[in-house]
Amino acid sequence: MRILFCGDVVGRSGRDSIVKNIPNLRAELNLDCVIVNGENAAHGFGITAGICRELYNVGVDIITTGNHIWDQREVIGYIDQDKRLLRPLNALPGTPGQGYVVHTTTKGQKVLVINVMGKLFMDPLEDPFSAVDVLLKKHTLGVAVSAIVIDIHAEATSEKMAMAHYCDGRASLVVGTHTHIPTADAMIFDGGTAYQTDAGMCGDYNSVVGMNKEIPIFKFTRKMPPPERMTPAQGEATLCAVYVETDDQTGKATLIKPLRMGGRLTATK
């Protein structure tokens, strides 16, 4: 199976990079499943039903999120209707929406996509490790599903890597989101799980993690309330993603490659 996971989409610039490139990438790479983290897609804060439809229309299969999932309040009433839009699995009981989905590809293969949020330096949620463990025991890789992808939305690199080792051999890909910077550690663990600490963002890198530079600099240098809210940078985005191939029999990864296109970062293709 061929899977593409795109990192956090930030604002209009990031959405444009998805809309422009995903249709071509689906064809060029013969992709079976495209997953995008969309939690910053709506002007840097959250996502809307309209943006979800925009992403689905260009070939995105599943949208993951993170700590900004509720920034656009309309999502509260929408998320239960959209089974392809995920919120963190380890959200507190009673939270609307779902943290995982079993997606069926056009070839009939089943892909379990899990969205979980870390606890270190993040909003307090339930334990991410036990939440993931319950699902992995119910959906055995290579038996119940053909592939398993876990988006761990977390601040601490150690927590992301610990999650990947915890799931080694039980998931096809564990990939980090949230920090908006692509890491240089794409690898396949001994048990066959592909991993990268952070996929990076789909956004304008002439910025501070996707936001126009002035307000973040003001906050760091003045330690005062900023004069206005941060806004996404609007220059050409770099699409940052992770491409993974898996064995059709076992579901384990056989290849992982970072993918970067457009914008300021060095391209990989």
Question: Which residues are annotated as catalytic?
Answer: 68
- Residue 134 CB: number of other CB atoms within 10 A? 11
- In the chain, alpha helices (H): 11-28, 49-57, 74-78, 128-138, 157-166, 214-222
Report the distance separating Cα 229 and Cα 184, nearest Å: 31
Side chain identity at 198, as an amino acid letter? D
- In 184-264, alpha helices (H): 214-222
Asked if 5 and 175 touch (Cβ cutoff 8 Å), the reply is: yes
Bridge partners (DSSP) listed for residue 244: 3, 256
How does DSSP classify residue 82?
-
Report the distance separating Cα 70 and Cα 140, nearest Å: 31
- In 48-199, alpha helices (H): 49-57, 74-78, 128-138, 157-166
